[in-house]
Structure 1
């Protein structure tokens, strides 16, 4: 018997570790779309058949994540859309904002620029922006748990909070991403979400609900979170790379990463996999085996 049967995917995932679960993204193209969202951001052609195929090809080629956004609450469409472009690189993250009146204007953007310094296409955004997944067509947990959080945050931080399409990890709903840093969170209540934003505004990283930074691979994400839990470090204090040295050959060992503080301290973090009972990764989906990543050893090298 599956003990998780009948539960929502987020309720079934409460024992799964959060670190290492942020979607790997460095380039973001966020397009305001107040209307209905299909299950897939581009595949369902919600932006219209005239540009969908071309935009899909360009985002794939530039390794940019297309994301639909809308303002929390009921809003009438005025014909003008906000577009956010962002780079969540470890060094030199940035975000710019501009408006369009025709979706074809998206094809005027060289998306490869999102892999470099700020291109000056729009107005620089200095305050942290919050994407809250509210993509009910993708998974009901995001709509039920994400929308109330987005509404609360938007009241406190007007203009800085957007409901967004699928950001990855609806089983950790409410799922939130900070731009431009790419720090990704899950399972936050309103108080935790406010603390996350306030920390980001101070140039710090809140630890509650932290899943990882989107520019890193899963093992690197786990390593960074593990080190941050041991020391006080500002947003840009740490750099993380996979360790090329072999790790012990135990079946559960996943790898290792080196975490370096700007003051010269360096840690080696080994990471292992943990198996959990099968459960659904999405609401109404069939149960399947689940694994997570956890820090095994944290060694200060110097």
Structure 2
């Protein structure tokens, strides 16, 4: 298919036949692997298909370029239903999702030189930002990237914002248009996909209580997809839902097969997973197929004899 045709499909999205974007297809182990550190920049839009093509102030483009160079994931954000700017300066939030204790901080900066992104990748809160204790919820509404994200994401973002004023933001592409509507919970970088409004509210409530909901849970950003799958299968097997109650300790791969040793709340597990491909009902740019994982083996090993935190 020609590039122009692909771009046109992405703008239109899909026809939403039965099973598409409804949660009927598996979404597990699909969180964005490269998103370990985050830079959120408030900008009301409009947003082009890709951030580098957006009509943004030069200072914002500079922030995006510096973040990308350092391996920080940049996101444009805006308030649901509102397009008024934050005020003078550039409103930013930064997060470290894979720290032992993930954190989120925010600030208003005059320009790019006021934000120490080297500190961020070192796991240190930049001096221009202040730690915040409340989580942030991002809903992808990036219409120019894929129309489905806006069609489903916009009403979801507005409904969630009514429940959690000032904690919910529309955001640019987070990865995985085929899983629209996408919800990201920061600072831990938890991804949910194919979300309904009711499912999003339930997931947000669970996260504020330090837990995940496995239904429509894509995984935790910054972790390789096979290891996201291993954690998912241990949670499903044990019923452990605390955010920090399950974590991969070590792993190795042999071809497509991955063996992982996973810590649960009261035991360790040996988990073997393999990828599998499913054909979707959409047949358009949203997704012709999706890659997911199947469980090969799950063995319970020795009990865990040390305490774990439900919040990390």
| Alignment partners' CA distance in 1, 2:226 and 2:50 | 28
Distance 1:180 1:75, change over 3 A: same
Structure 1 position 96 matched with structure 2 position 105: yes
2:211 paired residue among 201, 204, 214:
204
| Alignment partners' CA distance in 2, 1:89 and 1:281 | 34
Distance 1:90 1:294, change over 3 A: farther
Aligned match of 1:72: 80
The count of residues paired between Structure 1 and Structure 2 equals 284
Aligned match of 2:7: none
1:42-53 mapped onto 2 (5 Å cutoff): 43-49=52-58, 52=61
Q: CA deviation at 1:31?
A: 0.3
Aligned match of 1:114: 120
1:214-225 mapped onto 2 (5 Å cutoff): 214-225=221-232
Alpha-carbon displacement from aligned partner over 1:28-50 (angstroms, at most 9, x marks no partner): 00000012011112x11432346
TM-score, length of structure 1 as denominator length: 0.85
Q: CA deviation at 1:8?
A: 4.5
Structure 1 position 174 matched with structure 2 position 181: yes
Answer with 148-157 or 74-83: which moved more: 74-83
| Alignment partners' CA distance in 2, 1:109 and 1:97 | 10
Aligned match of 1:142: 149
Structure 1 position 27 matched with structure 2 position 46: no
- Segments of structure 2 that go 5 or more residues without pairing to the other structure are 1-12, 303-312
Structure 1 position 260 matched with structure 2 position 263: yes
Answer with 88-97 or 116-125: which moved more: 116-125
| Alignment partners' CA distance in 1, 2:198 and 2:212 | 15
| Alignment partners' CA distance in 2, 1:277 and 1:78 | 43
Answer with 86-95 or 226-235: which moved more: 226-235
1:275-294 mapped onto 2 (5 Å cutoff): 275-277=277-279, 280=283, 282-283=285-286, 290-294=290-294
- Segments of structure 1 that go 5 or more residues without pairing to the other structure are none
Q: CA deviation at 1:289?
A: 5.2
| Alignment partners' CA distance in 2, 1:160 and 1:187 | 21
Instruction: Give yes or no for contact 1:10–1:171 (8 Å, CA) kept in 2.
Output: no
Instruction: Give yes or no for contact 1:27–1:88 (8 Å, CA) kept in 2.
Output: yes
Alpha-carbon displacement from aligned partner over 1:151-170 (angstroms, at most 9, x marks no partner): 00101100100000000011
RMSD: 2.5
Instruction: Give yes or no for contact 2:31–2:219 (8 Å, CA) kept in 1.
Output: yes
TM-score, length of structure 2 as denominator length: 0.82
